[in-house]
Chains A and B, each alone.
Chain A
């Protein structure tokens, strides 16, 4: 389990790095392609609660270090905020872990789609924090696309990520919920 945990951490790091080079999808009004959340949501399902919290901490921290500019004195989104933002949908995902442990491809597919549905929440929450800090909230079609567009893209990406990570966990001798995994 520990080995797979660190593999997921590395994959999340690499996906944040990869995202830096992905241009926004212009026909979706500039919506971003987000891969890291899909890997994070898989981790929420695969790991027991303490490891889920550790993964949330690492993912949220990396998210802020990679994308949030720290321009003094106008820091309106301090590093660490995203940990709390990732925690909420992560808890929802972790709550469905019993379904994940059934090892059915169909169930995994629908859980991947749930991950895609939860992805816009991350952007919506970031937008809410920024709106609160900057004292102004407004919605336009562009903003709605930026919030929900990545979710639409994740509908395709998340199942691919899930169906790659499950064989990978087996390759690393980790089958969640089964005995003897803690030492693997």
Chain B
């Protein structure tokens, strides 16, 4: 029973991180209909920047803030410089471009910081809570991860539903031409979408770095899980991304705990295919109208 609780709790904490990555992918998909394969490398860069700031200033929270800020800037920059030229090209071109960007950023990080993974400090203690003499596999830092991701998800939902900026972003994503006629600066909304997405990604990077260490390729598995979570939930749905992330985290935690960690990639495949066979657009897909 303790094992079950442990696995559930650590699954929720992993899942919160997948949810943050999935949110980043969903925001970009909604804004520009592009799956951003460079997301893993972008959050790797912002986490390296955070690490440098933490090391030189000694303050975790300054590094945390810098990571989020540099995420915003990097996201906007990537959209303006690299993505804008291929937004009207065939969709596969954008896929290859983001793969190229991923490769370039990984190489740049290796040149600047070296390929040897290094440690990254957690925000809070990594010692599990004590309950009645047993130590749970859930730490104060895990609590922090879950709360931060919940806060970001709620914040994004509020932004999209309650603010004029959110309304303009939704309009730009769903009917760019009509939105443009009504005075929405569609291109700018795309940039804002990328910036927000990269910030969510940067958050995931800082949160997961203590457990995967910090190196140019450390975040690849996290990105893959985040992508699977986003597809599970439905790429158009931010709540779907969060629920897909947590569900995937918990399910993979059970598989790893009860059946062995070597089966985790296979389990992810089976879960994804099973869900997609029942709902080809993900769990939270709206049924789409198709026209000739």
Q: Do A and B bind each other?
A: no
List chain B positions with a Cβ less than 8 A from chain A: none
